[in-house]
Amino acid sequence: MRPPAPSRPLSVLLAACCVAALAGCGHRQVALDSPQSSTDNFQKAKAAGIRPVAVGEFDGQDGEAQFLEDTLVVELQGAGLLDPSANAVIQGQLVEARMGRHQGSVVARFTVTQSDGRVLYDRELRTSATWGAGANAARERAGVYRKLVGVLLGDPGFKNAVPR
């Protein structure tokens, strides 16, 4: 005696599940390492001659914008320049994040606002990096965000916006 044939809706559901599972196999998203302060950005932050600042919200591409915000917080905190009650607040918008197997680029708009609402700094910054086939992709991708924070810390307009 043969078991009953599966019903048509169940067959369609199983086929859809298989297609969905296989669709994810072609493009694997590599998770980012957790943000860590870097010696390079520590030195840039100290040399910038800026006063402590607060970090506000970052908008953009899902968790990527949050990662950029977290990276900025970690870098400023490591340099002793993060003060949640400061009257200058850095906010941002992740405009673009393109990460491939061996390269990545990030574009973000950073805005520094005074507590009275006056905009002290508003600029779109970008950076990119490439890495070899044997590199740790998660670490390298996180490095692109650290590099972008370094671009901000080294920008003369940013340094002029929040002088010590």
In-domain check, residue 127: yes
Q: What is the CATH number of the domain that holds 114?
A: 3.30.160.150
Considering only 4-13, 17-26, 67-76, 126-135, which range has the smallest mean pLDDT? 17-26
Q: State the amino acid at position 163 in one-letter form.
A: P
Q: What is the 3-state secondary structure (H, E, C) of 21-48?
A: HHHHHHCCCCCCCCCCCCHHHHHHHHHH
In-domain check, residue 134: yes
Tell me the per-residue pLDDT of 55-93, one tens digit each, with 9 for 90 and over.
999 999 778 999 999 999 999 999 999 999 999 999 999
Distance of CA 64 to the CA centre of its chain: 4
Tell me the per-residue pLDDT of 92-148, one tens digit each, with 9 for 90 and over.
999 999 998 899 999 999 999 999 999 999 999 999 999 998 888 888 889 999 999
In-domain check, residue 109: yes
DSSP-derived 3-state class of residue 92: strand
In-domain check, residue 3: no
| Rounded average pLDDT over 28-34 | 50
What's the structural domain count of the chain? 1
pLDDT grade for 29, boundaries at 50, 70 and 90: very low
What's the confidence (pLDDT) of residue 134? Answer: 87
Q: Could you list the residue range(s) of the whole structural domain that residue 85 is in?
A: 51-161
| Rounded average pLDDT over 21-39 | 51
pLDDT grade for 34, boundaries at 50, 70 and 90: low
Side by side, the strands of the sheet bearing 103-114 are 54-59, 88-99, 103-114, 119-130
In-domain check, residue 96: yes
